[in-house]
Amino acid sequence: MSFERPREVTDPKAMRALAHPVRLELLELLAEGPLTATEAGERVGESPANASFHLRQLAKYGFVEEAGTQGRRRPWKLKQLGMRFTDVHDDEATAGAARRLDRTFRARYLARLEQGMQERDALPREWREVTGGSQFLLYLTPAELRELDEEITQMLLARYADRRDGTKPRPPGTRRVEMLAFAYVRPEP
């Protein structure tokens, strides 16, 4: 699996295919390693046939591929970890598909953020001390914000590239941590 820069998704059909909660969940599961449609279906609460359909749709747009047969097992795997997309397109269909995909991702992330913060009290002290939120208000130009985003992304990818999926050995005590970064223009008071 590749650890280069995330894939740039610009095809509106691919964006619409991704904007399905089951498909997003399947992509996240496959980041932990290959799964058959039956295994994936059990993990997401879908029938093997439905999981297979969604995996084939993801394969159609180049997000997953078959990992080779293992006897009767036919596992699927990610083609590449991560993706990027934008709603800045001249074509309104592409921009609209990107906005829909963004809403789907944001709702998913924010729901997990809320759940994680609610369950944070049950974590050991060492985890409570390092989880939580940070908020910064900065005055930046678009070029400076782009540069900051690139620096954060590069730092995370360079330092922890070998820990982006669940298939490689990790140090004892590691847990799956999701970091979210949102940037938006805040209205002046």
* Number of folded domains that form the chain: 1
CATH number at residue 106: 1.10.10.10
Domain of residue 117 covers: 1-189
Per-residue pLDDT of the chain (189 residues; tens, 9 = 90+): 444 667 899 999 999 999 999 999 999 999 888 999 999 999 999 999 999 999 999 999 999 999 987 778 899 999 988 888 999 999 999 999 999 999 999 999 999 999 999 999 999 999 999 999 989 899 999 999 999 998 988 888 778 877 877 677 888 999 888 888 888 898 887
- Residue 139, amino acid: Y
Tokens for 174, please give them.
């590691």
Under 8 Å CB-to-CB from 176, ≥6 apart: which residues?
Answer: 166
Q: Tokens 């914000």, residue?
A: 145
Outline where DSSP puts E strands in 62-126: 64-66, 76-78, 83-84
Kind and range of the H or E run holding 8: strand 7-8
